Each structure stands twice: as structure tokens, then as C-alpha cells.
A and B are shown apart, each in its own frame.
Chain A
């Protein structure tokens, strides 16, 4: 049934023939419901992409601006909540996974939301602010990519 439908569907033309259905996402053994931590990290990743696209001078549009502002609102609220949790319960760096980032990480995320809100509302960022945005993105990416700081990984310093 699927093959017959695909043959009549011109939009399918770019999908390689060996794929009768494109499969994306987690491996079968890792499949589970998405929780708020998944959504926070995914939205933060989206915000980083939005900021990188701005720095690359990719065009904005009405719905892109709307999407950035919606994303900013979610990430900001969540980052504030998570930062408050750390203030209330303390920061436990022994927890290896989850959203146990250092408190300064959430400050950096909040700064990113402020900057993203500014460019989504049409305020152009001057050169030094763009540089600060870039540095902030780098620091956030390092925090969500590595469990340790990249400078602490000595094996990466040799080849």
C-alpha cells in the first residue's frame, strides 16, 4: 500500500528509493516519553541555532521573529526556575547527568535570551555585543556538550 502511494506522490521524489519510510530520532532501545529536561535542552539548542543564524546574517521574517520570541519566553522561564532550584537546594556537581549545571550556566542562558529577544525585536547588536553573544554561545555549548570543561580534557591537546 505504501509503495503505491509513494509512486503517486511527487513530493517523494528526493527521498532515496531504498527508504520506504524515513526514520529519525532515538534508537528503539532508548525510546521513551520526552520530559521537561529534554524539552529545555532542545529549546536551548534551537535558541543557539537562532542566535548563530542571526550572527551569520541569515534573514529573519515575521514568523521567525515570532518563533524566536516564543522560544525565548520558554527558555527564560525554565532557566529561572532551574536557577531558583539550585539556590534553594544547592548545586550538586556529583550528579553526572540531567540539568545539574553550575549556577553561572543559567545566568549565561538568561543573557542569551535577552540578546535573542533584542535581535528578534529588530534591535541591531553592535559589534562588541555580537562578540559577547558569540562568546556566550560558546560557553553554553561547551556546558551542554561536555561533562567537563574542554580545557580539562588533556587528551584533546595532543594528536
Chain B
């Protein structure tokens, strides 16, 4: 079980007015949800945000098997209601195997928010949510949370 590397470097941006932008190399994100419409929306928003491929799984068991075989991602965004291994169980297993992995749960039930907090989720997103919540995750955990270096200089 290996943790994926997050290599970081800063380069000068030629096309935008910023003096410097932060490149987040190899940040690995996985999205797990049975609902393909919701899952694909989350994948699109996160893929656009970080300009990296985002893994997608439709159940907790497949995701867990993949993580054990190929290494744990830097961030997991999962629905609580999943087949085989539900989101809360997966949170517990992932945090034991890879404590550095950021685990974010989302749900349409307030009861699951209490359980997510109790079991040590890094964030909880209450449905329905939009693109701002997903950008907020990237800003909080990827940009400000240690997966990238300095924030880009303002123009």
C-alpha cells in the first residue's frame, strides 16, 4: 500500500497576467458515487480545477481494491450511500491504511453529517451542492492545505 507522490513546482505563466502560477503535479483524486450523473459532474469540476485526471468508481469495494493495489489517492470524495462498502466504512478503512489521505463525504441526510464528523471525515458536503463547494475543496485542501506550494502572486 503506497501513498501517491504529490510533486510540486512553480512555473512562470506565459498566457496569463500572473507572475507565477502553482503547478500541482500528480495530485490524485478519486470520486466514488453510484449516481453516474452526480459522479460525472464532480469529476468534471475537479478535473477542470486541478487539470489532472480524476479516478471514478461506482462502488466502495471496487475503489478499495484499486487503492490497495495501486496506492491511495491524495483526496477521496465519496457518497455515504455506496454498495458493498459504504462511505463511512470506507472512510475508516482508508484513514487506518493511509492517514494522510483527505477524505470527504457527501450525503442528503443530516444524520450522516453527525456520523461523518464522529468518524473523522475531513469535510462533509450536504446535498444539493454546486460547483462552488467543489472549488472550495480544491482551494482548502489542494492549494492551501499542503498539496501545492506558494499561492500564485496576484497580477
Instruction: Report which A residues bind B (CB closer than 8 A).
Output: 1-2, 5-6, 8-15, 20-28, 30-34, 36, 38-39, 41-43, 45-46, 49-50, 56-59, 61-64, 66-68, 70-71, 74
Contacts and interface: CB of A to CB of B under 8 A. Distances in A.
B121 to A, nearest CB: 6
Nearest to A61: B51
B120 A1 contact: yes
16 contacts: A1-B120, A2-B119, A12-B145, A15-B122, A20-B117, A22-B124, A25-B124, A25-B125, A31-B126, A32-B127, A32-B128, A34-B128, A57-B15, A57-B16, A64-B51, A67-B44
Nearest to B48: A67
Interface of B: 13, 15-17, 21, 35, 37-38, 40-41, 44-45, 47-48, 50-53, 74, 95, 99-100, 102, 106-110, 113, 116-131, 133, 136-137, 140-141, 144-147
A63 B118 CA distance: 35
A6 B38 CA distance: 29
Given A56-B16, A63-B47, A71-B44, A42 B130 contact: yes
Given A14-B145, A23-B123, A39-B38, A33 B108 contact: yes
Given A8-B99, A11-B146, A22-B124, A46 B129 contact: no
Contact of B99 (A5, A25, A71): A5
A9 B127 contact: no
Contacts, number: 154
Contacts of B102: 11
A141 to B, nearest CB: 13
A119 to B, nearest CB: 12
Contact of B16 (A26, A42, A58, A66): A58
Given A32-B128, A43-B44, A22 B123 contact: yes
Contact of B48 (A26, A36, A39, A64): A64
A51 B137 CA distance: 21
